[in-house]
């Protein structure tokens, strides 16, 4: 009896989490990206969202990271932005938060694009 109740509870909680995760993912994939980058970035963003979901990041944390990605897409050259997106799956949650803090607290996006890419490379090691 307890086993069935536990299984049912886990199932209900898993199903309850699906709509919020799906909503966060669809919202994140609908970023306002420059036209030349959007098609190339979509699969990389989907991979990044999947990874963040597996890291148990909250929807608010995911939204912050997606806002950071959108800011980078608008301020960095397309090639640099796409390289950063390719590196993102190599980052763990704390490294992603470090990147977020660098973007928000420091003036990272005012630095040359190579400095931004260098930081992400360093975090990915």
User: What is the distance between the alpha carbons of residues 62 and 48, in angstroms, rounded to a whole number?
Assistant: 10
Domain range for 51 is 2-124
User: If pLDDT is split at 50, 70 and 90, which confidence band does 2 have?
Assistant: low
Report the domain count for the chain: 1
What is residue 121's predicted lDDT score, i.e. its pLDDT? 94
Please provide the average confidence, as pLDDT, over all residues in the chain.
Answer: 78
Q: How far is CA 47 from CA 25, 29, 88, in A?
A: 10, 10, 9
Helix (H) or strand (E) holding 63: helix 59-75
With beta carbons less than 8 A apart as the criterion, state whether 120 and 99 touch.
yes
E strand or H helix that includes residue 4: helix 2-29
C-alpha–C-alpha distance, residues 64 and 74, integer Å: 16
* Least confidently predicted of 21-35, 40-54, 82-96: 21-35
Residue in 101, 64, 99 with CA at minimum distance from that of residue 84: 99
Q: Is residue 57 over pLDDT 90?
A: no
Q: For residue 9, is pLDDT > 90? A: no
**pTM metric for this prediction:** 0.70
**How far from the centroid of its chain's Cα atoms is residue 116's Cα?**
16
Structure confidence at residue 16 as a pLDDT band (50, 70, 90): low
């Amino acid at each position: 009896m307890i086993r069935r109740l536990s299984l049912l509870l886990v199932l209900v909680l898993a199903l309850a989490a699906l709509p919020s995760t799906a909503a966060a993912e669809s919202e994140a994939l609908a970023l306002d990206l420059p036209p030349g980058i959007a098609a190339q970035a979509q699969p990389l963003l989907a991979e990044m969202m999947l990874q963040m979901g597996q890291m148990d990041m909250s929807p608010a944390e995911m939204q912050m990271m997606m806002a950071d990605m959108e800011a980078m897409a608008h301020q960095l050259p397309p090639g640099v932005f796409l390289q950063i997106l390719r590196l993102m799956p190599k980052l763990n949650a704390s490294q992603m938060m470090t990147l977020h803090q660098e973007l928000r607290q420091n003036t990272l996006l005012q630095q040359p694009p190579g400095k931004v890419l260098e930081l992400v490379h360093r975090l990915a090691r």
